[in-house]
Amino acid sequence: MANKADTAASERTDRTAGTREAILEAAEELFAERGFAGTSVRDIVRVSRSSPPSLYHFFGSKENLLVELVTDRYNRYCDGLEEKLSSASTPFEVCKAFFEFALANIAQEPKTAKFLFSIMFGPQQDIPKEPLKELLVRWELIVHERLRQVAPDAPEVRVVFARTMLNGLMTPPVLLFLTAGINTFPPDLPECLAYRIADVLTDKHPVCAWPSLAVSKKKR
């Protein structure tokens, strides 16, 4: 009897986990294609082959579903980025590794990349901002801290400016991906971009102060 009960409990757990993940997968696809405001609960449960009570049981609301989805996918992205940058020992290597990782993510996980980039770069008026505000700067914190570690003598204003340039130079590939579906880029692009940004930390050209994120308030 105990074995049968354990088996039944295990099957229920598997079904529950499968339903929850199916809802997340459907929401990711629909949010990427239609945006948050353009996707209804009915759309999500239809694509996931679940039901409104299941969605509300797991997430409570469409807004909470979005927050959990972003948290899951974005943390997975940032964990991978942190691991990728951990072996970089110079500013050039940090920047090159960042571009390699971001462009590979576009090519290897286009659905997730489209979802995340649409959240980061798309219309923001209908997205719950407060729960996502601190989360969505995590990748910049990772890059900033790694640049600080490999270039400890660089003035803070130059590290912030380099990080901002890195963000800006990643924007054109992202927009090409979102608007034209392009997901492959020249193999030497990361190296070309990385040289430009790494020079900012040591060259004689002027840099300017930039609006600070939470990263600028962290202790070095």
Q: What is the DSSP letter of 154?
A: S
Domain boundary among 21, 45, 60: 60
Residue 1 has pLDDT above 70, yes or no: no
What DSSP line would sit under 6-56, residue for residue?
A: HHHHHHHHHHHHHHHHHHHHHHHHHHHHH-STT--HHHHHHHHT--HHHHH
| Cα angle value 61/137/135 (rounded, 5°) | 30
Regarding whether 70 and 13 lie in a shared domain, the answer is no
Q: Which residues contact 10 (CB under 8 A, 6 or more apart)?
A: none
The model's pTM = 0.83
Predicted pLDDT at 77 = 93
CATH of the domain at 73: 1.10.357.10
Chain mean position to CA 36: 16
List b or e across 11-34, with b for residues whose CB sees 16 or more CB atoms inside 10 angstroms: eeeeeeeebbebbbebbbbbbbee
Q: What is the pLDDT of residues 175-215, one digit of tens each?
A: 999 889 999 999 999 999 999 999 999 999 999 988 766 54
Percent of the chain with pLDDT over 90: 70
Determine the 3-state secondary structure of 86 from DSSP. Answer: coil
Predicted pLDDT at 123 = 66
Domain boundary among 60, 78, 105: 60
The confidence band for 47, taking pLDDT boundaries of 50, 70 and 90, is: very high
In this prediction, residues 95-99 reach a mean pLDDT of 98
Predicted pLDDT at 190 = 97
Q: What is the pLDDT of residues 133-169, one digit of tens each?
A: 778 889 999 999 999 999 999 999 999 999 999 999 9
In this prediction, residues 47-62 reach a mean pLDDT of 95
Predicted pLDDT at 216 = 45
Regarding whether 105 and 84 lie in a shared domain, the answer is yes
Residue 45 has pLDDT above 70, yes or no: yes
Regarding whether 72 and 36 lie in a shared domain, the answer is no
Regarding whether 202 and 104 lie in a shared domain, the answer is yes
Domain boundary among 60, 88, 109: 60
Predicted pLDDT at 4 = 52
Predicted pLDDT at 95 = 98
The confidence band for 85, taking pLDDT boundaries of 50, 70 and 90, is: very high
Q: What is the pLDDT of residues 20-32, one digit of tens each?
A: 999 999 999 999 8
| Domain of 15, in residue numbers | 1-60
